[in-house]
Amino acid sequence: MEPVFIIATLVYMLSCACYFGYLFFQKPIFQRTAVGLMAAGFALHTVSLVACGIRAGHFPVNNLHETLSVTGWAIAAVFLAFFFMYRLKVLGIYAAPLITLVMIAAYQMPRPMSQDPQLLKSWWLAAHIITIFLGNAAFALACGLGMLYLLQENAIKKKTRGFFFSRLPSLDLLDTTGYASIVVGFSMITIGLITGVVYAKAIWGRFWSWDPKEVWSAISWLFYAALLHKRLTVGWRGRRAAIMAIIGFGVILFTFFGVNFLLQGHHGTFTAM
Amino acid sequence: MRDIVLLGLNHKTAPVDVRECIAFTADETDRALVMLRDNPTIGESVLFSTCNRIELLMAVDERDAAVTIAKQFIAEFKKVPLAQFENSLYQYVGDEAVRHTLQVAASLDSMVVGEPQILGQMKEAYRKATVEKTSGVILNKLLHRTFFVAKKVRTETGIGDHAVSISYAAIELGKKIFGDLEGKRVMLIGAGEMAELAVEHLIRNRAGTITVANRTFSRGVELANRFRGKAIKFEEIIDCINDVDIVISSTGANDYVLRKNQVKAAMKSRRNRSLFFIDIAVPRDIDPDINRINNAYVYDIDDLKGIVDENIEDRNREALKAQRIIDEAVIGFRKWFDTLKVVPTIVSLRGKVESMARQELEKTLVSLSHLSESDKRTIERMTGALVNKILHEPTDYLKKDGCRGNKSVALDITRKLFKLEENH
């Protein structure tokens, strides 16, 4: 498992380098190679995770190392899906470095054994984890798209065409893809929360424990629900949507990592170090 | 060996009234080519004539005679005294003629560097020359190479990228905001050449409904009919803002036609969909403060001019890259051109040596009449083999790049050494 993980990380890094080449030189060969490498890295990564899971007998989210690894995997999965649907080439310049950093962080983490493996053997749990991770990955991408939107919008408003102007797609495309990203993310975390609640009832006998992670997940869910509602009714789109996507991801980050490090609760195993 | 000569005038050397008199229409070009073909001094010719440029490209044996005849020909054909345009004519020979032709095709010599029409125009001129059979080996090769290099310049440099006209720049911006302009609804306030041109570009990009507002309703109706849109009264503008995406404004009004508070209210009822204002008017029609509203973008004529100027600078930078490609192509063409001289020299050399061998063979065989036929043929074969073996190395040297660029010198020495006749 270990060597496959390292190779996958290296392939992601190469993909990242190719994306930077594309950003600076704008030659299509860089972009095509970058996506190819990303896909290859993703395949290797999948193999690594599946092997890890089979060996351990349960979903590999035992500790911070594994959690980060799955995070990187989820971001790659969502990015590749979006790339094939929307052909948003330039998003790779945000996704590839993000994935690489997450993987490098994962590599640095120690790998203590699980405190309670029994806790992790369940299909509800697997569904809960997968959907939450994919949802968060989608929100991460929406955040990236929001940042790209703000960059491009600034160039158009200030009437200066800097480095990014010709390299970024239209505002409309960035906005639409960001919106799609949030819809996907929201759907995913909705399923994630439902499965989590069902699993909690099965394991601990209660649907809701006021565990900090549960609370903050609910807050995240409400935030994005409000965002979507406002977009459809009042028209929170364009600049406002971009800013909200970035703030929303901040909330997600806190929900995901902040809670584990700063507050106590039964989700602590996932970030055990 | 034939020389390539180019004679012509363009927008840089001749004012428009001179160019008007000298320009050849399509029919005139056809007739002129026939007349040039019948003239023995002009070997190969291609005539290229647009509103900005008239050029005669030739491959001739005697350069000076050909130039004189060409000038007289133009004067007589177009019935314009030579003195009237002679000062505007420029003349290029050999490599310089090749370079000029490549530059013209790559649009480096055009009024607007990077313009796309010139290549099509040149191809049409060449087509006429092939129909009338006025172009031969040399000009065919030159023009084929020219089209190839022009395409290479377009794809490998940014010379044709980005708008260099106000209307085009506006469209480009629209694409950066909306992505696809298809179906985007347009409102034209007022009238004017640049504004109407922009609307036409938008229509070509498959824009949606066009709404026209003019202080004079009948004028608005006229424009609306032209664009197959609908006309509204000037007072209705603010109501209709809700249903448009792009507003082009060009009125003579001294005051703002649209103000910030009006647009702000409209944005609310439009649910914040993006609005792009193109303000071509001076004094401005659209309150520039509107640019501060979220999802609303205002570009006035100075902003658009700024973009156009930047693009022109970019094109000029790209033109340097293009020059490098052209320089390489000129060298490549010269190499090909030189090989043309090699073949006749080798043929000449071979011919001379073979005829010497034949003479000696005949003389010898006369005094060897007692030999059998097969013996005589053996001696024939021997002389043939001797000729081939002796000529093999020299021929190889001349054909291949063995002389390393000094081909002309090598050819010259060969001719001198063997006292070959000069042939062209």
Neighbours of B339 (CB within 10 A): 11
Q: How far apart are the C-alpha atoms of A186 and B421, rounded to whole Å?
A: 89
- What local confidence, expressed as pLDDT, does residue B424 receive? 36
Among B271, B291, B318, the residue to mutate for chain A (most A Cβ within 10 A): B271
**Cβ–Cβ gap B175/A171 under 8 Å:** no
Show residues of chain B in contact with A161, CB under 8 Å: 307, 310
**Cβ–Cβ gap B177/A156 under 8 Å:** yes
Task: Provide the token pair at B307.
Answer: 């973009």
Do A80 and A153 lie in one domain? The reply is no
Domain of A188? 122-268
**Cβ–Cβ gap A172/B179 under 8 Å:** yes
Picking from A114, A144, A177, the residue at the C-terminal end of a domain is A114
With H, G, I as helix, E, B as strand and everything else as coil, classify residue B414.
Answer: helix
| Among B177, B291, B306, beta carbon nearest to A171 | B177
Do A171 and A67 lie in one domain? The reply is no
Work out the percent of chain A whose per-residue pLDDT is above 90: 36
Which of B47, B234, B242, B209 lies closest to B127 in space, CA to CA?
B47
Q: How far apart are the C-alpha atoms of B212 and B209, rounded to whole Å?
A: 10
Do A107 and A34 lie in one domain? The reply is yes
Residues 6+ apart with CB under 8 A from B285: B189, B190, B249, B250, B251, B253, B256, B257, B258, B279
Residue A126 pLDDT exceeds 90: no
Residue B50 pLDDT exceeds 50: yes
Do A130 and A96 lie in one domain? The reply is no
Per-residue pLDDT band at B402 (split at 50, 70, 90): low
Q: What Rg value do the Cα atoms of chain B yield, rounded? A: 33
The tens digit of pLDDT for each residue in B92-101 reads: 999 999 999 9
Residue A128 lies in a domain: yes
**Which fold is adopted by the domain B166-308?**
Rossmann fold (3.40.50)
B36-43: average pLDDT? 88
- What local confidence, expressed as pLDDT, does residue B392 receive? 93
Picking from A114, A132, A152, the residue at the C-terminal end of a domain is A114
Do A106 and A217 lie in one domain? The reply is no
Show residues of chain B in contact with A237, CB under 8 Å: 271-273, 295
Do A38 and A86 lie in one domain? The reply is yes
User: Which CATH architecture best describes the domain B3-156?
Assistant: 2-Layer Sandwich (3.30)
| Among A157, A169, A173, beta carbon nearest to B291 | A157
Name the helix (H) or strand (E) containing A20: helix A2-25
Work out the percent of chain A whose per-residue pLDDT is above 70: 92
Q: How far apart are the C-alpha atoms of B282 and A52, rounded to whole Å?
A: 69
Do A96 and A136 lie in one domain? The reply is no
C-beta separation of B190 from B280 below 8 A: no
**Cβ–Cβ gap B271/A235 under 8 Å:** yes
Least confident range of A204-213, A246-255, B221-230:
A204-213
The residue ranking higher by pLDDT, A87 or B22, is B22
Per-residue pLDDT band at A117 (split at 50, 70, 90): low
A201 vs chain B: nearest CA distance in angstroms?
A: 42
**DSSP line for A192-257:** HHHHHHHHHHHHHS-S----HHHHHHHHHHHHHHHHHHHHHHT---THHHHHHHHHHHHHHHIIII
Give the 3-state DSSP-derived string for A139-197, with helices as H, strands as E and coil as C.
Answer: HHHHHHHHHHHHHHHHHHHHCCCCCCCCCCCCHHHHHHHHHHHHHHHHHHHHHHHHHHH
Do A2 and A97 lie in one domain? The reply is yes
Do A83 and A193 lie in one domain? The reply is no
**Cβ–Cβ gap B180/A240 under 8 Å:** no
A68-80: average pLDDT? 90
Residue A161 lies in a domain: yes
Do A59 and A189 lie in one domain? The reply is no
The tens digit of pLDDT for each residue in A193-215 reads: 988 888 888 877 777 778 888 88
Least confident range of A71-85, A127-141, B42-56, B392-406:
B392-406
Angle between helices B407-418 and B301-366 (to 10 degrees): 20
Show residues of chain B in contact with A238, CB under 8 Å: 272, 274, 294-295
Going by their DSSP bridges, the two strands B246-250 and B230-232 should be labelled as: unpaired
Per-residue pLDDT band at B406 (split at 50, 70, 90): low
Q: How far apart are the C-alpha atoms of A81 and A60, rounded to whole Å?
A: 23
A74-83: average pLDDT? 91
Q: How far apart are the C-alpha atoms of A198 and A103, rounded to whole Å?
A: 31
Residue A246 lies in a domain: yes
**Cβ–Cβ gap A165/B176 under 8 Å:** yes
Residue A273 lies in a domain: no
Q: How far apart are the C-alpha atoms of B106 and B121, rounded to whole Å?
A: 12
A230 vs chain B: nearest CA distance in angstroms?
A: 10
With H, G, I as helix, E, B as strand and everything else as coil, classify residue B368.
Answer: coil
Residue B147 pLDDT exceeds 90: yes
Show residues of chain A in contact with B303, CB under 8 Å: 159
Number of domains in chain A: 2
Among B177, B277, B302, the residue to mutate for chain A (most A Cβ within 10 A): B177
- What local confidence, expressed as pLDDT, does residue A121 receive? 67
- What local confidence, expressed as pLDDT, does residue B46 receive? 95
Residue A91 lies in a domain: yes
A154-173: average pLDDT? 84
Please write down the long-range contacts of A220-229, taking CB distance under 8 Å and 24 or more positions apart.
Answer: A220/A189, A220/A248, A220/A251, A220/A252, A220/A255, A221/A186, A221/A189, A221/A190, A221/A193, A223/A247, A223/A248, A223/A251, A224/A139, A224/A182, A224/A185, A224/A186, A224/A189, A224/A248, A225/A186, A227/A182, A228/A182, A228/A183, A228/A186
- What local confidence, expressed as pLDDT, does residue B403 receive? 54
Least confident range of A167-171, B89-93, B320-324:
A167-171
Going by their DSSP bridges, the two strands B296-300 and B230-232 should be labelled as: unpaired
Closest Cα in chain B to A233 = B271
Mean pLDDT score of chain A: 85
**Cβ–Cβ gap B295/A238 under 8 Å:** yes
Picking from A114, A136, A166, the residue at the C-terminal end of a domain is A114
C-beta separation of B231 from B220 below 8 A: yes
Does any CB of chain A come closer than 8 Å to the CB of residue B359?
no
**Cβ–Cβ gap A171/B272 under 8 Å:** no
- What local confidence, expressed as pLDDT, does residue B287 receive? 92
Q: Say what the ipTM of the complex is.
A: 0.78
- What local confidence, expressed as pLDDT, does residue B168 receive? 85
Q: Let me know if B403 is a catalytic residue.
A: no
